[in-house]
Amino acid sequence: MDYTARSVRSLSDAGHDIINIDDDDDDIPAVCSALDDFIIEDEDDNLSLRSASPELRPIEPTWRRNTAPRWPETYIDHCTLLSERAKNLGPTASTVRIGDTVEIHTQQPAGLVEDGDFMRVMKIIQNVYSGAIKLRGLICRRNKFFAPMLDPKLNEVSIVTTIDTDDPRPYHIQGLEEISLDEAFRKRRLKVTNAPFPKLSYRDHSPFASRGPDGKKIKKIVEDNDVLVCRYFFAKVYGKGERNSARRIPYQGILQHITPMEADDGGKILTGRSAEHVDLTDNADDGDIILMEPTRSLPHGPNRERQYTFGDAFQGGGGASCAAKLAGLKVVWGFDHDKAAVDTAALNFPRARIFQCEAADFPAAAARFNARCDIVHISLPCQPFSNANTNPNAIKDEINTTCVFAVTGIIRTARPRIITLEEADGLLTREKHKYWFGKLLALIREEGYSVKWAIHNTLEYDISQPRKRLVLIAAAPGIPLPNMPKSTRGRPGSNLPAYLTAREAIGNIPRSATHHNPHLASRTDGVPWDPDRPFKSTILTKNSLCHWDGRRKLTLRELAGIQGFPHTYEFTGTKTAIEKQIGNAVPPPWFKLVFEECIKVLRKVDRIQGRGGRADPRSEGNDDEVNMFRAASRTLSPAPPISSQASGSSIENAIFIDSDGKNIIEID
């Protein structure tokens, strides 16, 4: 530290024009390299989704990594670095103990550990015969490799690791990596913290500014010598058997803020001294949930469970809202730009406030009522990211991709405790969409949320069609990230019920059901197929599927049944409009399972806080609860004013359907 400060001062006294070097890191990769392992190179690789290629799924459990050493290897409490630079700095600088951080110089090919990474040492292992020493610890990588997912600020790093869903140990145990002692170049100072940027960084203690060309010299000194700060944890998550499969492509991930339990000035569980005894998952004991101090005390009466509230952004025909209702949530608002879809949602949720408006205009439209709710779902337009988008429209795709930026306004308006998103899997798996996925994660992270994601095949979640979709779950500060739901169905030998068949999905539709008249369905000259298996195709926005008798196309009600809608769910609009609503919808049975996992976490947190759940934000007497949520989400920014000019003033033409489901009011 003294060397760095002296060097910086000597340089800063030498020139003329002041240059502020509190800038981004140098040599920033064009797009987030941390997401490379999720990319599918070609269409054939897309078949590697775990449910689609059973031959690649080993029956045996994943080999457990980072187990205790076996003789002749044993744990030791310290060692001495081998590099001449470290030795020349003296015994303190060259002696590595548990909890220290080392800079890695390696000639190994890029992989789990890369040249220039850092390791927080958790274990030191020595072979008592050969004397060879290995360091085992958490890998940290500069944030520039995570851009745009993370801001590429100088000397800001993040923990990066891989974990397995079938390994019950927390990430700071199973996610450790090993290096040989000769790959540890020197010690570095690292602070793991949940404090917001730029606290605890070099910016707190060093006036790093210079004149003229010396700015780059100073920047290099800072990069090579000053303190590193870690505020995030990034993990690639492997499902059962995926790590050992031929393709080894992960389909899940986590981007999480460092919690108080993980911080060096908090629980200190990432120092290597107590990690074996602490579990950070949401299955941990109640004492592991982080509680935020309320602005004033809450009454501690009987634990009465309340119905959690739900808002639906880009609602469409209401597939996510239907799932929310099935899970026990109260749908309080929704919006979409399509009038037919809005009419359908209003018909099925008459007590909710349903808006027809553009996404950028929703915050202004919602200013007429309290839009805050417990869970918000966001289904961004999927056409630009879908593999079915074989005839891209550049103008439409640009409009749809820019909807990503509307996420910020939606979050700030609703202040949800949990956010869910559903999107085409291509947003994660295609190289050309990597920027947009990273940007989406950045927008959510900047509002204070941690996020996890996974690709699901809806065949495994009570839907009779193969539909690969990306699902994201984000949690506000103080709320643990919910688990992804476990598969409810599987292939023979999976010890799960068989996939839902076509006959089970639509073979029992009542004759009285609306939009179901087989005699009026379009005639076809197709090939009959076996209804006692799932559908081969995915429901799209146009009806191209024929009935299993091969003589007609499916009715609208049958299409809705394949998508998982209850047979009593109503639709409005033309035949083409209804086909579009069904094809774009979130399959309700699948997302019902996602919402149930979210509800479990909220119940657990509220039980600890002495309340049964958050009341409807429109009801009276909930000031204490709102204050509690504000305290827990204190890192979130206040909602900014929204200009009605942001998207062509669509708010001028927006409509609001009142809570009685009858009155339509123009918003002007």
Residue 524: name the closest of 554, 560, 503 by CA. Answer: 554
Tokens found for residue 29 = 């990769």
Angle ∠(211,213,219) on CA atoms, nearest 5: 85
Closest to 181 measured CA to CA, from 220, 123, 109: 123
Using an 8 Å Cβ cutoff, are 482 and 282 in contact?
Answer: yes
User: Which helix (H) or strand (E) element contains residue 327?
Assistant: helix 319-327
Query: How many Å apart are CA 461 and CA 488, to the nearest integer?
Result: 5
Rounded to 10 degrees, the C-alpha dihedral 278/272/120/218 comes to: 100
Helices (H) and strands (E) in the chain, counts: 17, 23
CB atoms within 10 A of CB 655: 17
Chain center to CA of 19: 37
Distance CA 554, CA 557 (A): 8
Q: What is the 3-state secondary structure (H, E, C) of 512-526?
A: CCCCCCHHHCCECCC
Give whole-number Cα distances, 632 to 219, 304, 415, 449, 628, in Å. Answer: 36, 21, 11, 11, 6
DSSP state of 79: E
Matching residue, tokens 């030191």: 124
Return the axis-axis angle of helices 434-446 and 406-414, rounded to nearest 10°.
Answer: 30
382 is catalytic: yes
* Cβ–Cβ under 8 Å, residues 35 and 434: yes
Catalytic residue of the set 382, 403, 546, 598: 382
210 vs 207: CA distance, rounded Å: 9
Residues 422, 425, 431, 436: what is their CA dihedral angle, to the nearest 10 degrees? Answer: -10
Residues annotated as part of the active site = 382
